[in-house]
Amino acid sequence: MRAATVLASLVTSALSLVLLAAPAQAASTVDYVALGDSYSSGVGAPGQSGTCLRSNNSYAAQWAARNSPASFQFLACGGAVTDDIVNTQAPAMRSGADLVSITIGGNDAGFAPTLLTCLTSSDSACAAKVDSGKAYVRNTLPGKLDAAYQAIRAKAPGARVVVLSYPLIFDTSSLLCEMSVAKRRSLNSGAQALDDMIRNRAEANGFVYSEVRDEFSGHGVCSARPYLNGLTVIPPQNSYHPNTNGYTYGYLPALTSAA
């Protein structure tokens, strides 16, 4: 009886080791490329460097550090728009990439100007600016996203491409916040419209769409435990971007589950 128990324990331990080792072995053969904008470069977290403000606390760098891929190209750049994917980032990819991750579209839709308007203007002016962004997302962004996605596919025809969404930035339950509840709801509705279009075009192009809103739920700006920075003065670019927890507990799990 004791021998059978020991044997079962050994088998279970060996199986556990195999299961734990398998992801690392699989990842070690993967050529991984991180494309996109500031939400992929790691703006909002410590350790940003260079003109693209890349940080080792970004979800992309964390995934690479944890999974030891065969190669890792970190091409994401703060401020990037879809044209930068077409003209700069996709052409810089080494051929033969197996895994590609990307966030893109927020800057095309006016992320920074919209937030600035909402910070400095009335509720109605904020809503009008968000509505203008929604019109762009509805009428112009689809073609821009298609061009970016097609440039990626042309350079990496066999890659698994994971398109990550943007979170809803604000918690709307807190009464104390740098923006009114009306403004927060307007901005969240704009983020929702953007994510819906990104999902539509990503799936139409055969890519994997990974939603981060569940991971960020309850952790918006002005919540008790935010995964995003509110308005920051030093450095100003961190405003309304994920903090380290946002990349670690928000974006990283979303990439891991999709990759």
Q: Answer for the pair 101, 40: CB distance below 8 angstroms, yes or no.
A: yes
DSSP 143: H
Q: Which residues are catalytic?
A: 38, 241
179-187: long-range contacts, CB 8 A cutoff, minimum separation 24: 179/118, 179/119, 179/126, 180/123, 182/123, 182/126, 182/127, 183/118, 183/123, 183/126, 183/127, 184/222, 186/118, 186/123, 186/126, 186/127, 186/130, 187/114, 187/115, 187/118, 187/126, 187/130
d(CA 41, CA 153): 21
- The residue among 37, 46, 36 whose CA lies nearest residue 244 is 46
242, 227 Cβ separation under 8 angstroms: yes
**Cβ count near 230 (within 10 Å):** 17
3-state secondary structure at position 226:
coil
Q: How far is CA 132 from CA 129, 170, 191, 212, in A?
A: 5, 19, 13, 24
Residues 133 and 155: their CA atoms lie apart, in Å, by 30
d(CA 79, CA 61): 18
